[in-house]
Copies of this chain bind each other. A is one copy, B any other.
Amino acid sequence: MVDDRALLRDIADLVAAEATDDDCAVLLLNGSFLVATTDMLHQSTDFPPGMTDFQAGWMAAAASLSDIAAMGARPWGLLIAVGLDLPHRLRPVLEGAVACGKSVECPIIGGDIDSHQELTIVTTGIGSVEKEYLVRRRGSQPGDLICVTSILGRAQAALEGYIQYRRFLFEPRPRVREGQQIGRAGATSMMDLSDGLALSLHDLLRVNNAGYTIESRRLPIISDIPEHKAQELALYGGGDYELLFTIPPDRVTELTIDHHIIGTVIQDHTVLLDGVPLEARGYRHTWQVTND
């Protein structure tokens, strides 16, 4: 496995100073922000055993759509490049990507195909958002509430054998509608949780002049497995396509979407769980450059 974060530090000079700041690249175009993101997935490390080709296509589309959701943006279109070991896999992969796109009203607008040793899917999502509603990772203010959009740890639970959660792993719902409402409500920072809560809070920490304190009793954990295990999954499990965001207390009441308040933004530059430093542990990462 490539150590993504070390590699990204190594090439940061080539792309830009803010290279890992957001889920999407941001470009100013005719008064709106255009957002764009790319995600590469392949069979041996990204598609869990038992996943169908339809679900692989769905998951690949969801990865990019979730990044767009995390900016508060509306997706405009997805491009998909598919490396195929067997030609007949193209159709179900595309059907899955099309279905995921349709679930958030985003068409597949183009792509490329290639022969490959193992199934490889690269999706690129393009979206846009009005200037005032763009939400970045940078922006948390002490006093803001820390929130997540739904139950945490379900994808990782499925990976670890709790098959009742397989659909959260295999057909994750990108929180596109939720992301836009969160942006319009006045969230100050946001990102998706595909790397897990602990690592994501540390990602926010890296780009904010603030800290994050969360409480274990407030975490929306899954309820039908041992509580200690459910909490471990919620903190460190990857693959959830929920959103993590910060928002002033007087704005959180505007939200009609499912959300859970799990803590507060503080002045101290640290991440705390029940007052104790929280380890930066999780997996996978992408890099993006902002350029606006």
Tell me the bound Cα distance from A270 to B59 in angstroms.
43
Q: Is the CB of B7 within 8 A of A38?
A: no
* A167 interface contact, C-beta 8 A: no
* A208 interface contact, C-beta 8 A: no
For window 1-51 of A, CB contacts with B under 8 Å fall at 1-4, 7-8, 10-11, 14-16, 24-25, 27, 29-32, 34, 36-42, 44-46
> Hey, which chain B residues are within 8 Å of A84, CB to CB?
2
Q: What are the 10 tightest A-B residue pairs by CB atom distance, in nearest-first order?
A: A110-B288, A25-B109, A25-B110, A40-B81, A30-B30, A122-B122, A124-B124, A38-B79, A2-B115, A112-B286
Q: Is the CB of B7 within 8 A of A108?
A: no
Q: Is the CB of A30 within 8 A of B32?
A: yes
Q: Is the CB of A114 within 8 A of B15?
A: no
Q: Is the CB of B111 within 8 A of A38?
A: yes
> Hey, which chain B residues are within 8 Å of A80, CB to CB?
38
Q: Is the CB of B114 within 8 A of A117?
A: no
Q: Is the CB of B95 within 8 A of A14?
A: yes
Query: Of A86-94, A233-241, A248-256, which stretch is located at the interface?
Result: A86-94
Partner of A29 from the list B76, B110, B287 (CB cut-off 8 Å) is B76
> Hey, which chain B residues are within 8 Å of A257, CB to CB?
none
Q: Is the CB of A110 within 8 A of B14?
A: no
Tell me the bound Cα distance from A38 to B120 in angstroms.
14
Q: Is the CB of B90 within 8 A of A10?
A: yes
User: Least Cβ distance of A131 to chain B in Å?
Assistant: 12
Partner of A94 from the list B3, B14, B107, B291 (CB cut-off 8 Å) is B14
Q: Is the CB of A15 within 8 A of B81?
A: no
Closest B residue to A2 by beta carbon equals B115
Known: A29-B76, A79-B38, A94-B11. A116 touches B110 (CB 8 A): no
> Hey, which chain B residues are within 8 Å of A79, CB to CB?
25, 36-38, 124
Q: Is the CB of A122 within 8 A of B38?
A: yes
Beyond A14-B98, A29-B30, A42-B83, 9 additional pairs, beta carbon < 8 A: A2-B114, A25-B109, A36-B109, A38-B80, A40-B81, A42-B114, A45-B115, A83-B120, A113-B286
